[in-house]
Amino acid sequence: MVKKWLGLALKLGVSGGLIWFLLRNVDTQAVWTQVKTMGWMAPVIAILMIVILQMVIGGLRWWLVQRAIHAPLPLAKTTKLFLIGAFFNQVLPSAVGGDAVRIYKAFKSGLTFSQAFNGVMLERLATVFALVLLVAAIQPLLLSRIDAPSVEWLFPLMAVGGVFGIALLMSLDRLPKRLHDLRVVRGLAALARDARRLFLNPKEGLGSLVVAILGHVNVSLSVWVLANGMGLPVDPLDCILLFPPVLLVLTLPISIAGWGVREGAMVTAFGLVGVSNEGALALSLVFGGVGLVAALPGGLVWALGRDRMADVAKEVEAEEHPEPSKSA
């Protein structure tokens, strides 16, 4: 319990400290003025892009993963549960967040715990790996527009590291047989088998990566919609090139829902193309607010269901210490 609250306090400290530092070093009145220049149309379009397109893309990606590991769920179900998970990613400060809720809901939908856990974890892995591949692929074009030679090899090396990491994951069931008496090793072995079913499957494996890349591009374009509404000097290509690296930084679980880290990363990234610190900070704060509003439909879908918050919290806690029953 102490460790849990300490982790939460550290994340709050990171988020609050970074936002305080950024606000301390910019003209806050200019930030607010930048926000006020934007009408209502840009946030509405960005919210719709996230609620409709992004949730459908996320549901499709997860559906492909579940098909690949021979534990299918209906596309309507994965989309609905992805929407609920997005809501809990915003309101739960713990490391498991919306992913644990998705595991719980998938388990309650008839999957074994192993199938639910592996499906969500591999969907998350495919999403991050696709992001690394996208960032590495666009890096030459990015470097042609900005002066940042220090990162020339960073993202390609990350892509190579991602390939080796997935290869290692797929071989975890080849650990010495004597270790398979341990529950955690049996779980890793099941995850390795499912990872091979996904990443060695040309149809669902490649499909999940392509869909994930489309999701990253969609989010980047929603950022451009907001930037355009503020009159910031960026075009769609700038956002497609600059925002995926920001998303990559946000995969680090060191803050509350990315707050603070996102602001710092966006000020740095968009400053490379001439956006003022105040403009980039305003853009990041508005994008964070749009994300919060876009997650609310997931809360409504959950509230209209039969589960109660106490049951979800209990199951989320249980996923951190799963029972051996129903494990594959």
Domain for residue 130, yes or no? yes
Evaluate whether residue 141 is within a structural domain: yes
Sequence-ordered alpha helix ranges (H) in the chain = 2-24, 28-36, 41-48, 55-68, 75-91, 97-108, 113-143, 154-170, 183-199, 204-230, 236-250, 261-271, 277-303, 309-319
Residue 16 lies in a domain: yes
Q: Is the pLDDT of residue 325 over 90?
A: no
327 inside domain: no
How many residues does this entry show for the chain?
328
Q: Per-residue pLDDT for 35 more than 80?
A: yes
Residue 19 identity: I
pLDDT confidence of residue 218: 95
Is 298 within the bounds of a domain?
yes
227 part of a folded domain: yes
The model's pLDDT over 221-231, given as tens digits with 9 standing for 90+, comes to: 999 999 999 99
Give the number of domains in the chain.
1
Closest to 176 (Cα-Cα) out of 166, 167, 164, 188? 188
Q: Does 324 fall in a domain?
A: no
Judge whether 218 and 54 are in contact, CB under 8 Å.
yes
Top mean-pLDDT range of 149-158, 177-186, 263-272: 263-272
Contacting residues for 231 by C-beta, under 8 A, at least 6 apart: 37
Angle among Cα 130, 51, 261 to the nearest 5 degrees reads 55
Q: What is the pTM of this model?
A: 0.87
Q: Which residue, 156, 267, 283, is CA-closest to 223?
A: 283
Within a domain: 325:
no
Name which of 36-45, 94-103, 105-114, 255-264 the model is least confident about: 94-103
pLDDT average, residue stretch 73-83: 96
* Chain position carrying tokens 């749009």: 290
Full residue range of the structural domain in which residue 307 is found: 2-319
Least confident of 21-25, 60-64, 147-151, 227-231: 147-151
What is the C-alpha to C-alpha distance for residues 175 and 185, in angstroms, rounded to an integer? 8
